[in-house]
A and B are shown apart, each in its own frame.
Chain A
Amino acid sequence: KAGVTQTPRYLIKTRGQQVTLSCSPISGHRSVSWYQQTPGQGLQFLFEYFSETQRNKGNFPGRFSGRQFSNSRSEMNVSTLELGDSALYLCASSLGGTNTEAFFGQGTRLTVV
């Protein structure tokens, strides 16, 4: 069974640009959550999608947005990039519903210069 796949693995962007990251969940999983991981702040919850609807949102500015498609694949978009957005962005998938067992992808390392 394939795991959670995130693309691309590495990305370098310039301040002010925007970026789109992709996450393909484990087959059958309907929930996709996104996290930002930095040395200073640790793992912080961005948002969670279930059946194409955003169910929960963390405490991040509106520059961070996401969506989920009918096949459960999800994308995360960050607009007007700032240096502080440099981080490892992780997505996790789970069956959803009452089963919250989440499995992470390897992440996308975003560097903003």
Chain B
Amino acid sequence: QQQVKQSPQSLIVQKGGISIINCAYENTAFDYFPWYQQFPGKGPALLIAIRPDVSEKKEGRFTISFNKSAKQFSLHIMDSQPGDSATYFCAASNNNNNDMRFGAGTRLTVKP
């Protein structure tokens, strides 16, 4: 069932560094690619999302890079902070179908 592959499974970054999480998808019908951040005991929170008509989207310290031909997209967290320590999920869905497929998640730890 997994249609979105996410890596790495875990990531440790020093404060101020860049965190990079990668995802690859299979279904070319996907046209909406969000990233979610989840803290323990909480539901996932929408962080940033992109549609395939653009190759990059930036919101503050968070940037999504999207490569349609390679069917890959990635999340870059610039100037990573300890408060960014959480589990990050990429996802993909079809505009006409709210069946969202999630990656397995990346546990990010930012060391002070």
Chain B positions 76 through 112: 1 when the CB is less than 8 Å from some CB of chain A, otherwise 0: 0000000000000101010111111111110000000
Chain B positions 51 through 66: 1 when the CB is less than 8 Å from some CB of chain A, otherwise 0: 0000000000000000
Chain A positions 92 through 113: 1 when the CB is less than 8 Å from some CB of chain B, otherwise 0: 1010101011111111000000
Asked if A18 CB lies within 8 Å of chain B CBs, one says: no
Contacts of B99 in A (CB 8 A): 33, 45, 48, 56, 58
Contacts of A105 in B (CB 8 A): 43
- Nearest B residue to A50 via CB reads B98
Contacts of A55 in B (CB 8 A): 97-98
Least distance between A50 CB and chain B CB atoms (Å): 7
Contacts of B43 in A (CB 8 A): 4, 6, 90, 92, 104-107
Least distance between B89 CB and chain A CB atoms (Å): 6
Least distance between B90 CB and chain A CB atoms (Å): 11
Asked if B12 CB lies within 8 Å of chain A CBs, one says: no
The answer to whether B104 touches A104 (Cβ under 8 A) is no
Chain A contributes a number of interface residues (CB within 8 A of B) equal to 28
A43-B89, A104-B45 given as contacts; is B1 within 8 A of A33 (CB)? no
Assembly CA distance A100 to B43 (angstroms): 17
Assembly CA distance A99 to B51 (angstroms): 11
Sample 16 A-B pairs with CB under 8 A, ordered by A number. A4-B43, A33-B99, A42-B105, A43-B91, A44-B1, A44-B102, A45-B99, A90-B43, A92-B100, A100-B100, A102-B34, A103-B45, A104-B36, A104-B43, A104-B44, A105-B43
Residues of B near any A CB (own CB < 8 A)? 1, 32, 34, 36, 41-46, 49, 89, 91, 93, 95-105
